[in-house]
Amino acid sequence: MLLNVENLNIHFKSDKSSTPIHAVRDLSFKINKGEMLGVVGESGSGKSITNLALLGLLPDSALVTAKNLDFEGKKLLSLNELEWCQVRGREIAMIFQDPMTALNPFLTVEFQIVETIKAHLNLSNKEAINKAIELLNFVGIPSPKDRLKAYPFELSGGMAQRVMIAMAISTDPKLLIADEPTTALDVTIQKQILNLLKVLQEKNNMSIILVTHDLGVVGEYSDRLQVMYAGEVVEEGFTTEILKNPNHPYTEALLASRPGASAHLKRIPKTLLPSISGIVPAFHQRPLGCQFHPRCSYKTHECEQSIIELKDFVRCIHPCNQLSLK
């Protein structure tokens, strides 16, 4: 096991309310070596905050507690800043959603990659440049030597994301967090980038957390899946099983509201889609009980009463497959 997260809670101090805001509640998951975990959820579901917590990048106003937050036996919560520098970027690396804003527009690709390499590996300038060329070549950038001299604005979105990936994998991290790596990209480029991540996972035995809002992306690429809603995991398990037989009403409704004919739902074009009413609750307006109950079509009186615990990988007292058996 590479990463073990047990009961991770993240609170934020807020001026608006006297009690801290509970952004992520009781999150537990494990990642094995060479595995790709997909995380789906809408904005405000706590996906990005969790990732930042895994990298120790949350601001001081955040209060992170966990029963266990182990990365290869290292207790991440007790690391000091110096120790974090050994982990962050070296063992756990991250690629961000928008490569154009994540790269520094004033610096060449060469400067930015070489800086990363030299910060973590004991290499001379020349060796670092050679390694950078090697990496750009690996991620599929044509004529990498010339590209080193380029500034980010001279690259296309797909190229810039490849540079980000090259930087992230330059230290051969054990865990790569990809936070919406293809949301800003075209479908054909998306496929290229995701295939590249899959090569890293399978051939280099890298573990990857793939965060996305696109069920199609996790469906094709991830091994296991975690569905998040309003700071909680509502369902987890093997990707194909969840997508075939969603147990949580939220997962089921998300799948049903996808337009277009997917493999198992034949839709008649130009008819109304089964949509989920309402919106994701804001941090400070989260309801009591089940977080999804105001929007859920199966809700009963019990759903509003108390916090629902994750049971048999589903956080619901009326899981869908049980309903269909009745």
| SS3 state at 4 | strand
Among 240, 305, 306, 321, binds another protein (CB under 8 A): 240
Q: Note whether 187 binds another protein by CB under 8 A.
A: yes
| 100 near another protein (CB under 8 A) | no
Near another protein by CB under 8 A: residue from 267, 286, 289, 310 = 267
Q: Which of 30, 192, 294, 313 binds another protein (CB under 8 A)?
A: 192
**CA–CA dist 141, 169 (Å, integer):** 15
Buried/exposed 127-161: b ≥16 CB within 10 Å, e otherwise = ebbebbbebbebbbbeebeebbebebeebebbbbb
* x-or-dash string of contact with another protein, 31-70, rule CB under 8 A: -----------xx---------------------------
CA distance 31 to 236: 13
> Is 258 a residue that touches another protein (CB under 8 A)?
yes
Residue closer to another protein, measured from CB, 43 or 78: 43
Query: In the window 307-326, what residues touch another protein (CB under 8 A)?
Result: none
Q: CB–CB of 93/176 below 8 Å?
A: yes
Query: Smallest distance, Å, CB 9 to another protein?
Result: 24
What angle in degrees, to the nearest 10, is found between the helix axes of 125-138 and 157-169?
130
Q: Which of 232, 187, 190 lies closest to 210 in space, CA to CA?
A: 190
Asked if 266 touches another protein (CB under 8 A), the answer is no
Q: Which stretch binds another protein (CB under 8 A): 26-34, 125-133, 275-283, 307-315?
A: 275-283
The minimum distance between CB 67 and another protein, in angstroms, equals 31
The single residue among 150, 214, 294, 310 that binds another protein, judged by CB under 8 A, is 214
Residue 280 binds to another protein (criterion: CB under 8 A): yes
Of 189, 287, 289, 310, the residue at the interface with another protein (CB under 8 A) is 189
Of 199, 283, 289, 310, which one interacts with another protein (CB under 8 A)? Answer: 199
Q: Which two tokens stand for residue 300?
A: 């009963």
Measured CA angle at 52 (ends 108, 219), to 5 deg: 90
Q: How far is the CB of 255 from another protein (least distance, A)?
A: 7
> Per CB under 8 A, does 146 bind another protein?
no
> Quick check: helix, strand or coil at residue 307?
coil
Strand order in the sheet with 232-238: 92-95, 175-179, 207-212, 36-40, 224-229, 232-238
Q: If binding is defined by CB under 8 A, does position 91 make contact with another protein?
A: no
CA distance 197 to 166: 11
How would DSSP label each residue in 65-131? Answer: E-SEEEETTEEGGG--HHHHHHHBTTTEEEE-S-HHHHS-TTS-HHHHHHHHHHHHS---HHHHHHH
Candidates 14-22, 77-85, 123-131, 209-217 — which segment interacts with another protein by CB under 8 A?
209-217
CB of 90 to another protein, least distance (A): 24
Instruction: Tell me the C-alpha distance between 203 and 262, whole Å.
Output: 30
Give the interface with another protein as residue ranges (CB under 8 A).
42-43, 138-142, 156-159, 186-192, 194-196, 198-199, 202, 213-217, 219-221, 240, 243-244, 253-255, 257-264, 267, 269-277, 279-280, 295
